[in-house]
Structure 1
Amino acid sequence: MLTLDKIYHAAFILKDVARRTDLIAAPRLSDTSELYLKTENLQVTGSFKVRGAYYKISQLSPEERAKGVIACSAGNHAQGVALAATRMGLRSVVCMPDGAPIMKVESTKRLGAEVCLVKGTYDDAHDRAVELQQETGMTFIHPYDDEQVIAGQGSIGLEILEQLPDVEAVIVPIGGGGLIAGVAFAIKSLRPDVKVYGVQSAGAASMFRAHRDHTYETLDTVDTFADGIAVKTPGELTFELVEKYVDDVITVSEDEIAAAILSLMENQKLVAEGAGAVSVAAALYGKLPIEGKKTVCLISGGNIDVNILSRVINRGLVMSGRKCNLMIALEDKPGQLTRVSEIISGCGANVVSVQYDLGDTNMAITSCFLKLGLETRDALQIEEIKQALTKAGFKLVSERA
């Protein structure tokens, strides 16, 4: 049974292993609430997962240690298990989905684990890990649905209360639920007045649906670039703890997550992965009642795949109104582009790409479509440009990102 004493014991065991990550003020992220960031993206393995994995493995018996450990992970838990096992001199095997970011796979190997790539999703990797555990007798280190793993994650809750004693709300990412279960249990046990909110990607909303319907559920599919929380089935123990200790669970879109990653990079000089940024996305887009409250957003990890980072930044620019594409129907005669350019520059925006389409069968033979890529300040400036073009007699055909 999870107790506050176990969480305090986990914090003691972890004091020389896991960083006591900084809690930093983030005034540029919100005008309506006093935001702080708990920077677990700066943890020794780039995510909070090392806390639960290390504490769980530290409590194994000599017999269990001798057989080694096995785990399943989309990447962050894998690194935590690898680091913990290697430090304690144990063999570790980690099953990961074959679509896991290369960086996470290579980091897991570098930390000393044997990696078994499994075709499919995290849940497929979980099933393969269970099979291997039964074949080998190794100890299975569950990424979230384990009392000692949850206790390790709960040490973050203790740190938040120590670093910001008058905190009023805490926003936590959710995949399988181990992080929020531990954090919520710790915080609600010591400060029941503090609100604890969970956030999931809308494309992997297993705990959101379970919490909404008050029944344990499994999704048919998940679809999100936030691979760290792409979980079809939440934990049974974590679901019970979320039901008891979490005030609400909400979702954010892929575009909102991308915009949050961009905002963290620009305003806080912090790199967060998709799973780590969902808490900030919830705050940025007004998904929770935190106006005027001292609120902590837990950034759970920073291990983003550099291969998709440019795409994430591009989506974030579009979402925040910093980039847009306009298509204008023009009469094909000299001077038209000059007039359009003057209007756009007069509004303070920058044209970064120009393309003429003369072959669309939906337009007159003497006309063309002018496709423009713009760098803009925000959504208001985009609207100003559109109104100015319309006022000058130009017809906006469509706007595509």
Structure 2
Amino acid sequence: MVSQELDYFRAIIQANMEPLAKVTEVSPVTSLEQKLGNHIWLKREDQQPVYSFKLRGAYNKLKQLPKGAQVVTASAGNHAQGVALSASHLGHTARIVMPVTTPEIKVNAVRNLGGEVILHGHHFDAANSYALEIAEKEGAVFVPPFDDKDVIIGQGTIARELMQQLPLLDAVFIPVGGGGLLAGMSIYLKSLRPDIKVIGVEAEDSACLKAAMEAGEPVELERVGSFADGVAVKIIGKETFRLAQKYCDDVITVSSDEICAAMQDIFVSTRAVAEPSGGLSLAGLKKWVSQTGAKGKNLAAILSGANLNFDRLRYVAERTALGEHNEALLAVTIKEEKGSFKSFCKALNGRSITEFNYRYTGPGDAEIFVGVGLRNGETELASLKQELSDKGYSFVDMTNNELAKLHVRYMVGGKPGEQLSERLFRFEFPEYPGALERFLDTLGANWNISLFHYRNHGAATGNVLAAFEVPEQDNAAFSEHLQRLAYAYQEETNNPCYQQFLSSKAHNLAQVANS
């Protein structure tokens, strides 16, 4: 071991987290052990006073400073609370710059822990730049959320406790945002037990470590997803990547649906309600077991946090069945005649219908959007599709279609009664009071909005589905207008789900499926 890594290892051994950060428990995930054929535990960092592991790194960083120090940081969540509590306990003053889009529950939590909150900018990058500006102007100490030696050492103490509690582990699954937790834990685990597998887990839409591993250096993602906001980081830290590259054995990415399913597993076994990033590592563990076929192993995942807005549970519940592969979403053509629905239900061979959307559009064929319960995951889905094909049904599998899951399942039956020159887009925008009104104002009135759908899931980012009447000769001007808006967007005009249920143009299911 080189001296730099040896310094990390020794510092993690010597780091004293008492009395602020507690030694957290390990809990068995009994609901999964028999199902997956492995021994599975959760390291319960949701038990920290701020309900997140972030307290460890912040506390270790601030302990190095003389009493009465002025500290500043930027964060929209768990790091902010860790810095605020640590500063109050150690006699420092802390200013936390948070985006104006930060949910009020998180702002109040920081204030209640003794931190001074400064609301600035509509996204983290703006808040972070302002915090660095304050630190430079006023000589305050900036506390990085992950790419800092003392922060990394603090996070590494989780591995020290875990090895004392479960010394015979075969693999540890660690959530990855900026990489501080993975860096600290991996260097300790591999120094003590080189044979143990260290596996980083990322959200598919925020996979900055995977991108860095492929490029051989940190690279900035164009955009990151908002669901697992605790790990929504565009670029991994330089030092955290250096350590991850050396000590991390593998990186697994998981979908939002798989995270939701893991959150349910955690609740069933522990009655703890994890935040999305808190369920991330267990989702990765489940996927790794499925991919490798591992049996009889001792596996641990880090339940990294439980700071969840309660209203987001609605979204989690909706997506859990899909994450567990217990539900299929299908667009099916049936005859517009008496008894056709009954015949379709019979064709499902006893499977439950979880959702059924239909609206009369005229004689001939009818298009339905249906959710079907599955008992045996993807294997049964393949059987169901074969059975429907054998019975002569035309259909499109929408189970993995994000537009279908996020919007269209709530909008089926909305075809206009006349032909429209329509283009469809998904937009993301910062969510705060008045944000939707501002979004609509920004879109302008140059083109008629012919479709609009919005659902608030209690996240920092709002999601809108909108269609515009754009004559062909206006396409260039419209595209320029979209670029000036500065909102993240994706065109969905050719999405088969839109073409089947919402577009004014007639499309055949088979043509859509092959487009």
Shift of 1:397: 5.4
User: Superposed, which structure 2 residues align to 1:66-81 within 5 Å?
Assistant: 66=69, 68-81=70-83
Per the alignment, residue 48 of structure 1 pairs with 53
Distance 1:337 1:247, change over 3 A: closer
| Higher mean C-alpha deviation, range 375-384 or range 91-100 | 375-384
Q: 1:281 aligns with which of 271, 280, 283?
A: 283
Compute the TM-score of the two structures, normalised by the length of structure 2. 0.69
Partner of 2:367: 369
Given that 1:145 and 1:178 are in contact with CA atoms closer than 8 Å, whether structure 2 keeps it comes out as: yes
The DSSP-based 3-state class of the residue aligned with 1:124 is helix
Match of 2:214 in 1: 212
Structure 1: stretches of 5+ with no match in the other structure = none
Report if aligned partners of 2:213, 2:245 keep a CA contact under 8 Å in 1: yes
- The letter of the residue matching 2:58 is A
Q: Is the 8 A contact 1:376 1:382 kept in 2?
A: yes
8 Å Cα contact 1:40-1:299 kept in structure 2: yes
Contact 1:100 1:227 in 2 (8 A): no
Higher relative contact order (CA 8 A, sep 6+): 1
Give the direction of change, closer, same or farther, for the CA distance of 1:101–1:35 in structure 2 (3 Å limit): farther
In structure 2, the CA distance between the partners of 1:369 and 1:211, relative to structure 1 (3 Å rule), is: closer
CA drift of 1:341 comes to 3.7
Note the C-alpha offset of 1:353: 4.3
* Partner residue in 1 for 2:337: 333
- Pair 396,129 (structure 1): closer, same or farther in 2 beyond 3 Å: same
Give per-residue Cα distances to partners, 1:265-296, cap 9 Å, x unaligned: 33443322222222111121237758233111
1:7-26 paired onto structure 2 within 5 Å: 7-10=12-15, 12=16, 14-26=17-29
Structure 2 CA distance, aligned partners of 1:395 and 1:242?
48
Corresponding residue number in structure 2 for 1:159: 161
RMSD between aligned alpha carbons?
A: 2.5
Counterparts of 1:59 and 1:171, CA distance in 2: 29
Once residues 348 and 32 of structure 1 are traced to their aligned partners in structure 2, the CA distance between those partners, rounded to angstroms, is: 27
- My pick for the range that moved more, 330-339 or 128-137, is 330-339
1:388 deviation in Å?
5.0
Pair 1:233-2:238 in alignment: no
Q: Is the 8 A contact 2:159 2:189 kept in 1?
A: yes
Tell me if 1:185 matches 2:187. Answer: yes
Matching residue's letter, 1:159: E
1:369, distance to aligned residue in structure 2 (A): 2.5
Q: Per-residue CA shift, 1:331-385, capped at 9, x if unaligned?
A: 23322333334454x5141x3544433227xxxx233234434454453555555
Structure 2 counterpart of 1:94, from 82, 89, 96: 96
| Secondary structure of residue in 1 paired with 2:259 | helix
Match of 1:294 in 2: 298
For residue 222 of structure 1, report the CA deviation from its aligned partner: 1.8
Q: Distance in 1 between matches of 2:396 and 2:142?
A: 57
Any conservation in 2 of the 1:358–1:367 contact (CA below 8 Å)?
Answer: no
Q: 2:66 aligns with which of 61, 67, 72?
A: 61
- Return 110-119 or 76-85, whichever deviates more: 110-119
TM-aligned CA distance change 1:98 to 1:263, over 3 Å: farther
In 2 relative to 1, CA 359–142 (structure 1 residues): closer, same or farther, beyond 3 Å?
A: same
Count the aligned residue pairs.
390
Which residue of 1 is the match for residue 134 of structure 2?
132
Matches of 1:251 and 1:371, distance apart in 2: 29
Kindly indicate whether residue 321 of structure 2 is the aligned counterpart of residue 317 of structure 1.
yes
When residues 325 and 187 of structure 1 are mapped into structure 2, their CA distance, relative to the original with a 3 A threshold, is closer
Secondary structure of 1:232's partner? coil
Q: CA deviation at 1:227?
A: 0.9
> Closer, same or farther in 2 for the Cα pair 1:50/1:383, shift >3 Å?
same
Instruction: Give 3-state SS (helix, strand or coil) of 1:285's partner.
Output: helix
Query: Among the aligned pairs, what percent are the same residue?
Result: 35
Is the Cα–Cα contact under 8 Å of residues 123 and 231 in structure 1 kept in the other structure?
no
Matching of residues 228-267 of structure 1 within 5 Å: 228-267=230-269
Give the stretch that moved more between structures: 381-390 or 195-204: 381-390
Query: What secondary structure is seen at the aligned counterpart in 2 of 1:3?
Result: helix
CA distance in 1, matches of 2:224, 2:397: 31
CA–CA distance in 2 between the matches of 1:6 and 1:189?
A: 13
SS at match of 1:286: helix
Alignment-mate amino acid for residue 330 of structure 1: I
Q: Are the counterparts in 1 of residues 58 and 82 from structure 2 also a CA contact under 8 Å?
A: yes
Structure 1 residue 100: Cα displacement: 3.5
Measure the CA separation in 2 of the matches of 1:216 and 1:176.
Answer: 10
In structure 1, the residue matched to 2:309 is 305
Whole-angstrom distance in 2 between the partners of 1:261 and 1:158:
25
